[in-house]
Amino acid sequence: MTILIYEGSLRLEPGHEGWVRLYPINFRELGGDASFKKYDVITVDATPARQDSRRESWRPRMQTMRKEGSLAGWERRRPWLDPMVGRITMCRLHRGASMDTPSLALVRPSRIKALQVKPHPGWSPAQQGKIDAYVRQCTLFGNEDRTPLQAPRFSATFHYECEEPGCRGHRQGFIDWEFVAFTLLRLGSKRDREAQAFLEKQFFVQPCTPENDVAFYVGNVAAHPRTFSVLGLYYPPRKPSRRR
């Protein structure tokens, strides 16, 4: 079984625990009663991704994906995810990205400087080409949604320092599913400045408080292994032993 989180998910089978990357997944095809959400526990048949050198990458057979439960609330998630926090620093990930180091991790920042939100420039020609190719080859279901993926209204970048002594800081794109959904569905008629402030509050001000034990889900790009992005936030309440 696997906990579905972001691009990276957590495999639960005894003896095989660890991060896996299930790709590609077109979540728009899994609507209605069959929809899957973050922190759902799933089973799925998958095979190692042949064209991806990252050891965590697996190609799922979407027809086999089944929901087995859901980890609602931090207390149910912590036994699985707390042990994964801080096993490696972002600096170490970056240094070893071309060797046999993880391409997915849950890293703890020592200081979060900012979340910079700005208008999205639209898909680059390379990104649009990949989207178009995926839509053309999409044959998972008979009624699949082949509508090209819409670019989000805003993009965002986290600026932070990790726990590595002497860390000079990291600037990484923020590609959380929920952030993208907010930019497309939750901003309504808000003007850019108001919308940017709303997104900063939702994804930085509220979760990244001293009362929460914040960590970042991070993952890299196959073609550029030193390029990592923040895939999402993990922010359970800080335990008394870790309060500042």
HSE-CB for 200 with a 13 A CA cutoff: 15
Give pLDDT, residue 244: 54
Phi, psi for 67 (deg, rounded to 5):
-85, 130
Give pLDDT, residue 133: 67
Q: How many CB atoms lie within 10 A of CB 218?
A: 26
Rg (CA), the chain: 18
Give pLDDT, residue 137: 58
Nearest Cα neighbor of 145 from 244, 31, 231, 50 is 31
Give pLDDT, residue 2: 82
Are 146 and 135 within 8 A, CB to CB? yes
Q: How many CB atoms lie within 10 A of CB 177?
A: 15
Give pLDDT, residue 26: 63
* pLDDT tens track for 16-41: 789 999 887 765 544 444 467 889 99
**Residue in the structure block whose two tokens are 């046999």:** 100
Give pLDDT, residue 143: 43
Phi, psi for 134 (deg, rounded to 5):
-65, -45
Between CA 233 and CA 215 the distance in angstroms is 6
Between CA 211 and CA 219 the distance in angstroms is 26
Give pLDDT, residue 211: 96
Q: For the whole model, what pTM was predicted?
A: 0.87
Between CA 19 and CA 142 the distance in angstroms is 31
Give pLDDT, residue 33: 45
Give pLDDT, residue 141: 43
Are 126 and 109 within 8 A, CB to CB? no
The residue type of 204 is F
Residues of the chain with pLDDT under 70: 6-7, 26-35, 97-99, 131, 133-148, 241-244
What's the CA angle centered on 95, arms 227 and 179, to 5 degrees? 30
